[in-house]
């Protein structure tokens, strides 16, 4: 009996820690936000000139998933990636493949009042993003999710840009 009481006490003490580790209460997440979204477009706008260009080519592919457990994962690959010539990529082929993708995962928090989602990056293909918070403004219309950065330094070019990603709900 003492063992059962002790286990229940330990479980109760662990509850607040578990909830805070999630960075958000999953029951408060907007239901229309949750699920898997497929990338439609990824465009950058140069802040000084206003010029727009495709970030990873005209037809990038990718998915982002927001789970009920407060975790997220995203992977995007550029247009026309080339498969290595053999089973093992050469250093040049591997570098080109790595340069033409982005991926990270972690937890997320949604602020419906500010219309922002914050990705708390725990792992990343690019270690400079691991441990950072990536804030995106969002807009959901029907089956479309638009994520937009504030004007900031583009990690790929070092220039001041706004990046906009448009996603559609995956079936």
Class of residue 147 by CB neighbours under 10 A (exposed 0-12, middle 13-18, buried 19+): buried
Q: Is the pLDDT of residue 120 over 80?
A: yes
Compute the average pLDDT of residues 107-128. Answer: 95
What sections of the chain are H helices per DSSP?
Answer: 2-21, 91-99
Domain architecture of the chain: domains with CATH: 26-169 (2.40.128.490)
CB 73 within 8 A of CB 64: yes
Question: Is pTM beyond 0.85 here?
Answer: no
Of residues 171 and 34, more confidently modeled: 34
Residue 103 has a pLDDT of 97
Q: Residue 26: what pLDDT?
A: 45
Share of the chain above pLDDT 70, in %: 84
Tens of pLDDT, residues 55-105: 999 999 999 999 999 999 999 999 999 999 999 999 999 999 999 999 999
43 and 163 Cβ atoms separated by less than 8 Å: yes
């Amino acid at each position: 009996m003492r063992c059962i009481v002790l286990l229940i006490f330990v479980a109760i003490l662990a509850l607040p820690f578990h909830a805070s580790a999630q960075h958000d209460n999953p029951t408060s997440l907007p239901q229309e936000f949750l699920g898997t979204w497929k990338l439609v477009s990824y465009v950058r706008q140069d802040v000084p000139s206003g010029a727009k260009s495709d970030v990873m080519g005209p037809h990038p592919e990718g998915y982002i998933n927001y789970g009920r457990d407060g975790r997220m994962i995203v992977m995007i690959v550029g247009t026309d990636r080339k498969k290595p010539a053999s089973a093992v990529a050469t250093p040049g082929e591997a570098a080109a493949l790595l340069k033409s993708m982005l991926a990270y995962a972690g937890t997320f928090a949604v602020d419906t009042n500010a219309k922002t989602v914050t990705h708390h990056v725990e792992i990343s293909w690019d270690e400079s993003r691991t441990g950072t918070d990536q804030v995106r403004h969002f807009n959901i219309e029907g089956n479309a999710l638009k994520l937009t950065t504030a004007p900031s330094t583009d990690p790929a070019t070092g220039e001041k840009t706004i990046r906009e990603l448009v996603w559609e709900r995956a079936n």
